[in-house]
Structure 1
Amino acid sequence: MEQILEAVLAEQYDAVGALPVPDHYRAVTVHKDEQTMFEGIATRDKDPRKSLHVENVATPELGPGEALVAVMASAINYNTVWTSIFEPVPTFGFLERYGRTSPLAARHDLPYHVVGSDLAGVVVRTGPGVNAWKPGDRVVAHCLSVELESPDGHSDTMMDPEQRIWGFETNFGGLADLALVKSNQLMPMPDHLSWEEAASPGLVNSTAYRQLVSRNGADMKQGDTVLIWGASGGLGSYATQFALNGGATPVCVVSSPEKAEICRRMGAELVIDRNAEGYRFWKDEHSQDQKEWRRFGKKIRELTGGDDPDIVFEHPGRETFGASVYVARKGGTIVTCASTSGYEHQYDNRYLWMNLKRIVGSHFANYREAWEANRLVAKGLVHPTVSRVYPLAETGQAALDVHHNLHQGKVGVLCLAPEEGLGVVNHEKRAQHIDAINRFRGI
């Protein structure tokens, strides 16, 4: 790895393909024999620092249509948090099921799981049948893994019956010095960004694009009012940018004055600090408070001049879903991609059916959508939201920050990169966007 790193740091990318690939590499893992370690402990008290290990693992065999990438930087997503606390289920069941699908997939069924669903780095090897990419290419990766042997996936690859999220439902993820990906996960690295900046948008940027912009999601149009939960967070920060870029009006819901200020820095004018307003959508564990729904809806109309949201960008889940269904306008859309506060949603169906609203499920993105989302970053129209960066050895702490919602935007992780700020090629373009690139830094 040292030779590969030296070549990358010297920008001698053409030399990478001739260098030997190590038989072991450093990676962040969870262990199968520890998947019960948090039994009986409350979710919030489960500590990723205890379950995430940084260790040497064997380099996997490179198969057809695949690439090995030297990972310069990665990032933390909620799926890494879920993996680390073994919720809602341990990920080893995913690896076992994948391993049964083919002899090649059997490589993934191991007693350890290399995690991580983002990366920026350099291709070091490609397998048979890969023609679009070569060793030395600077790349980022999206996290959709598909087999495409069923006709179901050929209209929208997210519909492939063998669709999985790389680094969560497959092994050999991006929080490591090497990663194994399918070649159709690769995209060009934006040349004005550093490694950690380029790595950070992948999962959340693509997810927000499909959820909000794509016809497979809410199909947002100019003039729409879009309610965005967690608007300064990993997903919400990209949804806010897409709404502003697309001529929509975001109504940003946050939980502190600091987070409200971040949204205003992005250009949003309508912001609700839910903690300052004291919203409590649940009376107790079993009963929601519809008076609070109405109070929330009134606040939205005060800000918008009387408009209810055309689109509600949902991802908190149980805590907010009833309110989301209620406040959406007649004929509006509630589009959901996650349930970070709980998976069992409750809402009053009268407000859905009698007002002809729609609930749309959205999960990550297909290659086309991920490519378009990355292209917007490369054009400088959407910007990374990195607030803090940790070294690989401190991935457990980075995951704990996300688990306890102590972060803003995205938390990056340096893998092979020895320090922040490396990897920039187009310095002139970077200078044009430097304030936006650094908008979340240090917060």
Structure 2
Amino acid sequence: MDEIVAAILSREATSEDIAALPLPETYRACVVRKEDCGMFEGMDSADKDPRKSLRTMSIPVPELGLGEALVAVMASSVNYNSVWSAIFEPIPTFTFLERYGKTSPMGKRHDLPYHAIGSDLAGVVLRTGPGVNAWKPGDEVVAHCLSVELESADGHSDTMLDPEQRIWGFETNFGGLAEIALVKSNQLMPKPKHLSWEEAAAPGLVNSTAYRQLVSRNGAGMKQGDNILIWGASGGLGSYATQLALSGGAHPVCVVSSPHKAEICRAMGAEAVIDRTAEDYRFWKDERTQDPREWKRFGKRIRELTGGEDVDIVFEHPGRETFGASVYVTRKGGTIVTCASTSGYTHEYDNRYLWMSLKRIVGSHFANYREAWEANRLIAKGRIHPTLSKVYPLEETGQAAYDVHRNLHQGKVGVLALAPQEGLGVSDPETRARHLDAINLFRTPAG
């Protein structure tokens, strides 16, 4: 592995040089183990500690199959699905691996007593399997996390509809929180040249998810002038939604939970910011009963910030805690687009405010290759910037996941895999210099 790292860091190794390097028999990866699935039984989600379940261990390099690539991972990042994997919710991910293992002999590779997790990476292609023509050893890449088979007609208008669609590193093995990852070649995209490895690894999942959810015709179809309510606007997902709204000529209404997070949103260019903690919004009277008076107070506050207008789009991902309010505050004919349920999967809302006002609820899940490519292109052009706030070594991935689980972070939390230090991998310093303040915006410590 040292020889691989040295070749990559030299920036002089050719494709032939990389291809000639021997692959190690094993590599280090952040894993959960099947034998630990019951370790949090009976505990509330908030009390489950990813530091206890995530382990760094050496595992064998997987066999390379048709249309696949092995990538040397320089850096990765933590997403909320990493937290779900670590706390075995909503079900242990070994259920997904077992299902995949039944599909084919190559699928069987993924059904193991350990799961190497992670759905982001920035790194260098080491090997390509048969049928791969677009990529070669030595290519600097990032990976999106959509894994598809495309043997069904259902996936050929939108690959997210493929019956065998999976999220790499969550519903498949050999993910990006590791020194080596196994991906399909149609997950690969060019690494933005002005970013370091850890910066380039941060946007993948969340930026693509936000792009489909907000911009794509498969999501809300945002247009210029739209008012967009963005929950968790300084978080891993919301920070990209905020940037996409601003870049696309829309008006984000950013909801955050602290003054520091409010300042981050303003620094991104947002003018309408609601600190829900300071203004003490409580949408639930108790575990079973919502408070419509709080919906109305919230809607009034939004109109104060928009010149009397309701929001055209609600960018939803908290789920149960906020969904009733989201449906209520959306304008007549507006759209609530949801991609997650971090506060609970059972959503409750007053349907009168949906059907009588002709509103729509749209489900959105990650992104297809075209959408992910467009989202990455915006990063490469310096229109959207990484929101990296902190970086941990691979051995401390558990702590990184803990930060995300407890909402102790802003933006994205990165993880160094093979990169020996931060700041490496930049090959376009001129572009970087033009955007350095925006790139480093989320590195500002909380005051």
Deviation of 1:147 (Å)? 0.2
- Aligned to 2:76, which of 70, 74, 90? 74
Secondary structure, in 3 states, of the residue corresponding to 2:311?
Answer: coil
1:198 matched to 2:185? The reply is no
1:5 matched to 2:34? The reply is no
- Aligned to 1:363, which of 362, 365, 373? 365
Which residue does 2:187 correspond to in 1?
185
Deviation of 1:13 (Å)? 3.7
Secondary structure, in 3 states, of the residue corresponding to 1:234?
Answer: coil
- Aligned to 2:35, which of 25, 33, 36? 33
Identity of counterpart residues, as a percentage?
Answer: 78
Secondary structure, in 3 states, of the residue corresponding to 1:210?
Answer: helix
Deviation of 1:42 (Å)? 1.6
Distance 1:44 1:282 in 2: 18
- Aligned to 2:59, which of 57, 60, 76? 57
- Partner AA of 1:283 in structure 2: K
Q: CA 1:13/1:373 → structure 2, altered by over 3 Å: closer, same or farther?
A: farther
- Partner AA of 1:425 in structure 2: S
Distance 1:10 1:118 in 2: 24
Deviation of 1:311 (Å)? 0.1
Deviation of 1:16 (Å)? 1.2
What is the CA RMSD across the aligned residues, in angstroms? 0.5
- Partner AA of 1:244 in structure 2: L
Deviation of 1:71 (Å)? 0.1
Secondary structure, in 3 states, of the residue corresponding to 2:208?
Answer: helix
Distance 2:249 2:433 in 1: 26
Deviation of 1:367 (Å)? 0.1
Secondary structure, in 3 states, of the residue corresponding to 1:204?
Answer: helix
Secondary structure, in 3 states, of the residue corresponding to 1:329?
Answer: strand
TM-score normalised according to structure 1 size: 1.00
Distance 2:41 2:370 in 1: 40
Conservation of the 8 A alpha-carbon contact between 1:388 and 1:442: no
Structure 1 portions without partners, runs of 5+: none
Distance 1:264 1:18 in 2: 49
Secondary structure, in 3 states, of the residue corresponding to 1:374?
Answer: helix
Secondary structure, in 3 states, of the residue corresponding to 1:359?
Answer: strand
Deviation of 1:12 (Å)? 2.7
Distance 1:93 1:12 in 2: 43
Deviation of 1:41 (Å)? 1.4
Pairing of 1:167-178 with structure 2 (within 5 A): 167-178=169-180
1:328 matched to 2:330? The reply is yes
Deviation of 1:387 (Å)? 0.2
- Aligned to 1:95, which of 89, 94, 97? 97
Structure 1 segments of 4 or more deviating over 4 A?
A: none
Distance 1:416 1:13 in 2: 16
Secondary structure, in 3 states, of the residue corresponding to 1:40?
Answer: coil
- Partner AA of 2:376 in structure 1: N
Distance 2:47 2:226 in 1: 40
- Partner AA of 1:25 in structure 2: Y
Q: Residues 178-224 of structure 1: CA distance to partner in whole angstroms, max 9, x if unpaired?
A: 00000000000000000000000000000000000000000000010
Q: Residues 120-143 of structure 1: CA distance to partner in whole angstroms, max 9, x if unpaired?
A: 000000000000000000000000
Which residue does 2:343 correspond to in 1?
341
Secondary structure, in 3 states, of the residue corresponding to 1:275?
Answer: coil
Which residue does 2:386 correspond to in 1?
384
Which residue does 2:272 correspond to in 1?
270
Pairing of 1:143-154 with structure 2 (within 5 A): 143-154=145-156
Distance 1:161 1:146 in 2: 8
Distance 1:258 1:372 in 2: 31
Distance 1:45 1:152 in 2: 40
- Aligned to 1:212, which of 211, 214, 237? 214
Distance 2:190 2:291 in 1: 48
- Aligned to 2:252, which of 246, 250, 253? 250
Distance 2:418 2:429 in 1: 22
Distance 1:133 1:18 in 2: 16
Q: Residues 261-317 of structure 1: CA distance to partner in whole angstroms, max 9, x if unpaired?
A: 000000000000001111000000100000000000000001101010000000000
Distance 1:2 1:148 in 2: 37
Secondary structure, in 3 states, of the residue corresponding to 2:135?
Answer: coil
Conservation of the 8 A alpha-carbon contact between 1:385 and 1:410: yes
- Partner AA of 2:242 in structure 1: T
Deviation of 1:23 (Å)? 1.0
Conservation of the 8 A alpha-carbon contact between 1:197 and 1:384: yes
Secondary structure, in 3 states, of the residue corresponding to 1:215?
Answer: coil
Deviation of 1:405 (Å)? 0.2
Deviation of 1:85 (Å)? 0.4
Deviation of 1:45 (Å)? 1.1
- Aligned to 1:19, which of 18, 21, 30? 21
Q: CA 1:259/1:346 → structure 2, altered by over 3 Å: closer, same or farther?
A: same
Which residue does 1:239 correspond to in 2?
241
